[in-house]
Structure 1
Amino acid sequence: MKGIEGKFLRTILRVFALLSAISVAGVAFDSRALAGPALLGEEPIVIKPTAREPATIAIPTFDVVAAAGQERFNEIVYNDLAMTGYFQRCSNQGFVEETHQSDAKRGNVDFAEWKRLGAMFLLKGSCQVSDDKLVATCYLYYVPTGKRILGEQFFSTADKPRVLAHYISDRIFWYVTGNDGVANTKILYVSLTDTARRNSEVWCMDADGAGAFQVTNENSLVATPCWGSNGTEVYYTSWKNYNPDLYGIYLKGGSAWTISYSAGLNVSPAWSQARKKIAMTLSKDGNSEIYTVDRDGKNLKRVTFDRPIDASPSWSPSGDDIAFTSDQAGTGSPQVYMMDADGGSKRRISFVGSTYCDSAAWSPKGDKIAFVARQNGRFDIYVAEIDGSNPKRLTSGEGNNEDPSWSPNGLMLAFASDRSGSSQIYVVNSDGSNVRQITRRGQNTAPAWSPFLYGTPKR
């Protein structure tokens, strides 16, 4: 029991520009506002590249008309698609640009030449500003057959080129793989802001690590942020009143409100959109237990009644079950367990030969559990079926890897690692491939990947 308490306390103690509303012609920003009518020649195709066998895509620099600052539009799309692991860029961008210019002079696409460059897909596009709106026209081709599989116009306000580029990336990802893309999602994390005082704040960034902004202004230690109701709220723990209390704040701004301020721990919130409830860890009765509560702090209900410590809850997508950390056996060997939402039917689900498993994260599809296990003195990320079978180790031999959080499409995870010498945020595909570092400054922990914030592109 003492072991889990030490790790649990270590975890929680490690630890504007607010997101403005985006609109198109006065309409709230979402997928419908972005996508214009399909252009002639659209022919969807799904070829199912994988993270192990990525498809090569060529993206020449977008033709720019009176749209200063959009010259790197293609680079944003490139990076978004590469982050998924399902795409890789053509090896020589210089040849890509030369071939694109040759196409323009000739007035048609030389697919044989693009094939010689190794491209399976080709994206050509243009950007222009019209009436303070950014208009991007995109054509996606399947090079082996020369077929155009996407022809579409996309719109956003002129000051949001990254958002528009992310949306185009997600559109391409959907058309090629049949899966929702996550380029337009965000990741919360805790960043150490004052090394002398050990103060930290909750920050938020795009899924590629760009566009970071500070969410909280606590001037204190904060920990364990999670996304709240409809992806518009953030719940987190702060020590600003000299006790680890639980607070909520709107991502778009405003004052924080108190959710739970019981004596002792009020930590590790997890929001269930299905139940409209927060699961969290409280120690007000002398032992860490799992409770549920409304987002306004009402209707507090104790879920676990165990002598060992229970901590770190994670809801199933349906809201019917909760995964959590506990030393049910009382041996000082914490493991990951699952229980019904009312606390019944507890069963162990971590079986990887480790005496220390923690930090369960339920996949958005409800079919997998990610968790952390200690092996040979270091922490690594595992993914298993929800009954604990078929565990797969995603990280190995590179520092401590903790705090897994699923992307909303269930294809990637964000996690914190000290492999570079400081704690930073990384993303990895759910099969362990394509590890990418997305923060580089300071000390950053506790990533929490957002749900889909603006809807998802559909055919």
Structure 2
Amino acid sequence: MLRNLLVLAALGGAFASAAYAVGHDALVPSANAQPDAKDIGGKFRLIRLAVPAGDDVGEILRRDARLSGGFEVLDRKGMPAALIKEKGFNKDGWIQVGADAVIKNATVGGQIRFLLYDLGQGSRPVLSKGYPAGDPRKAAHKFMNDVIAHYTGVPGVFGSRIAFVRTRRNPTVTKNVYTAEMDGGNVASITNNRSLNILPSIGPGGEVLFTSYAKRNPDLWMAAGGAPRRISKYPGLNLGGVMSPNGGSIALTLSKDGNSEIYLIDRGGNIQRRLTKNPAIDGSPTWNPGGSRIAFVSNRAGTPQIYVMSSSGGGAKRLTRKGNYNQTPDWNPGNKKDRDLANWVAYAGRDNANRFDVFAVHVGTNKLVRLTQGGGRNEDPTYSPDGRLIAYSSSRGGIFVATKDGNNAIQVIRAGTTPDWGPRAY
């Protein structure tokens, strides 16, 4: 966001990548492991998953499985017709086609029934669930979340939404905010005007915050189930609002006093606290999952770098030490099985070739990991609500979802920028 902030300031004063363990609990291999590796450390590889259904539900399940980064999805065209149409379950037949696990679905009455078979555990289903048939997409997402929970102990995040911006240039340049499910489906419009609506973020209750020039000033707006309403309209910038984990505060950049500083406001736009007071430009705040710390971008050292401070505004310390242009941080929310994930902050950094890529830095150790390389310009990272996946925008076209280590990158949204990943849907 600092890139946007610098421009605006000038104008008017920016699953674990690991394979799931076949027949065992999942373990996390090296961050360098590639998603097509079939054997990691001699013990673990991607689960070869067969989904024989040829309907929309089957296609959603296969898409979800690929996006999770934990499965090698078998091509349905290579499955014998006898297996696809079978009434019971032919374990030996599925072993012969190379499957480790099989998901079956069928509509029974008003429900879609799902069965997961793990061939390493016998011929009986290890998971059986039913969901209302009125929303097949939701049913498929819910079951895949259950499947991931079966293998990892933490449910998947399918059904969660990503906010993003689409730009149109005919006849004039407009930017509007949308959301979509994390697989790219069910796109919904948040704004639909001829103005510039930028930098969306999704709050813990699904609220969408964004900055808009609809009233000529860059004001902060919120959409929470109805028409968007303007909540912060101080003179100058009201930029890049992000809601605290408990939903009670919004961190954003204001320039009402002449310089760009980070403030906390409540949901009504009332200022709660000023967090930074520095001659430099400060912006792009992101909360840690506990709400006690905020990472942000500042050029107080001469170039844009990532800093961390208390959410009350004290003790700012520089986090990034490599690269001369680092921006758009996002703090990993972590999950109950891997709490150390919550110590990682992803950001976009410019390398020696003058190209932006996505990196992640550990807040405690300063360990640095490069997540993208050699695939165009990659920016604006945002973690999934379980911390195991990451989305980012790319010059390759739109928004991609990858594992938290940058592997298994798959395009999910075309022509989208500045994504922000919201909370679990269910």
The change in CA–CA distance for 1:97 and 1:174 in structure 2 (over 3 A counts) is farther
Structure 2 CA distance for aligned equivalents of residues 81 and 6 of structure 1? 35
The change in CA–CA distance for 1:234 and 1:169 in structure 2 (over 3 A counts) is same
Displacement of 1:5 in angstroms is 6.2
The change in CA–CA distance for 1:151 and 1:54 in structure 2 (over 3 A counts) is closer
Tell me the residue number matched to 2:7.
9
Taking every aligned residue pair, what percent have the same amino acid on both sides? Answer: 32
Tell me the residue number matched to 2:270.
298
What is the RMSD computed on CA atoms of the aligned residues? 2.4
Structure 2 CA distance for aligned equivalents of residues 229 and 79 of structure 1? 26
Q: Is the 8 A contact 2:157 2:425 kept in 1?
A: no
1:90 to 71, 74, 86: 74
Structure 1 CA distance for aligned equivalents of residues 269 and 2 of structure 2? 27
**Does the residue aligned with 2:120 lie in a helix, a strand or coil?**
coil
Structure 2 CA distance for aligned equivalents of residues 161 and 12 of structure 1? 49
Structure 1 CA distance for aligned equivalents of residues 81 and 159 of structure 2? 27
1:77 aligns with 2:61: yes
Tell me the residue number matched to 2:384.
407
Displacement of 1:275 in angstroms is 6.0
Structure 1 CA distance for aligned equivalents of residues 332 and 254 of structure 2? 24
Amino acid of the residue matched to residue 101 of structure 2? F
Tell me the residue number matched to 1:267.
239
Q: TM-score, normalised by structure 2?
A: 0.87
1:354 to 309, 315, 323: 323
Structure 2 CA distance for aligned equivalents of residues 234 and 203 of structure 1? 9
Structure 1 CA distance for aligned equivalents of residues 9 and 392 of structure 2? 13
Q: Is the 8 A contact 2:323 2:350 kept in 1?
A: yes
Q: Is the 8 A contact 1:61 1:97 kept in 2?
A: no
1:114 aligns with 2:94: yes
Q: Is the 8 A contact 2:112 2:133 kept in 1?
A: no
Structure 1 CA distance for aligned equivalents of residues 98 and 151 of structure 2? 17
1:242 aligns with 2:216: yes
Displacement of 1:92 in angstroms is 4.8
1:61 aligns with 2:58: no
Structure 2 CA distance for aligned equivalents of residues 246 and 98 of structure 1? 58
The change in CA–CA distance for 1:97 and 1:6 in structure 2 (over 3 A counts) is same
Q: Is the 8 A contact 1:60 1:97 kept in 2?
A: no
Tell me the residue number matched to 1:283.
255
Q: Structure 1: where are the runs of 5+ without partners? A: 16-44, 63-70, 455-459
Q: List per-residue Cα deviations over 1:205-246 (Å, max 9, x = no partner).
A: 111011112112333101111112522x11110001111100
Structure 2 CA distance for aligned equivalents of residues 146 and 117 of structure 1? 16
The change in CA–CA distance for 1:12 and 1:230 in structure 2 (over 3 A counts) is farther
**Does the residue aligned with 1:358 lie in a helix, a strand or coil?**
strand
1:426 aligns with 2:400: yes
**Does the residue aligned with 1:162 lie in a helix, a strand or coil?**
helix
Structure 2 CA distance for aligned equivalents of residues 172 and 184 of structure 1? 14
Amino acid of the residue matched to residue 217 of structure 1? N
Structural mapping, 1:1-400, within 5 Å: 8-9=6-7, 46-48=24-26, 51=35, 53-61=45-53, 71-95=55-79, 97-101=81-85, 103-104=86-87, 107=88, 109-128=89-108, 130=109, 133=110, 135-156=111-132, 158=134, 160-231=135-206, 233-250=207-224, 252=225, 254-274=226-246, 276-329=248-301, 331=302, 333-351=303-321, 353-365=322-334, 366-375=342-351, 376-387=353-364, 389-400=366-377
**Does the residue aligned with 2:63 lie in a helix, a strand or coil?**
helix
Q: List per-residue Cα deviations over 1:236-292 (Å, max 9, x = no partner).
A: 100011111001111x3x222221111111111111123611000111111111000
Amino acid of the residue matched to residue 412 of structure 1? L
Q: Is the 8 A contact 2:203 2:247 kept in 1?
A: no
Q: Is the 8 A contact 1:274 1:317 kept in 2?
A: no
Q: Is the 8 A contact 1:205 1:213 kept in 2?
A: yes
Q: TM-score, normalised by structure 1?
A: 0.81
User: Which 4+ stretches in 1 moved above 4 angstroms?
Assistant: 3-7, 10-13, 49-52
How many positions carry a matched residue from both structures?
395
Tell me the residue number matched to 2:420.
448
Q: Is the 8 A contact 1:399 1:419 kept in 2?
A: yes
Structure 1 CA distance for aligned equivalents of residues 333 and 311 of structure 2? 17
Structure 2 CA distance for aligned equivalents of residues 173 and 76 of structure 1? 15
Amino acid of the residue matched to residue 379 of structure 2? E
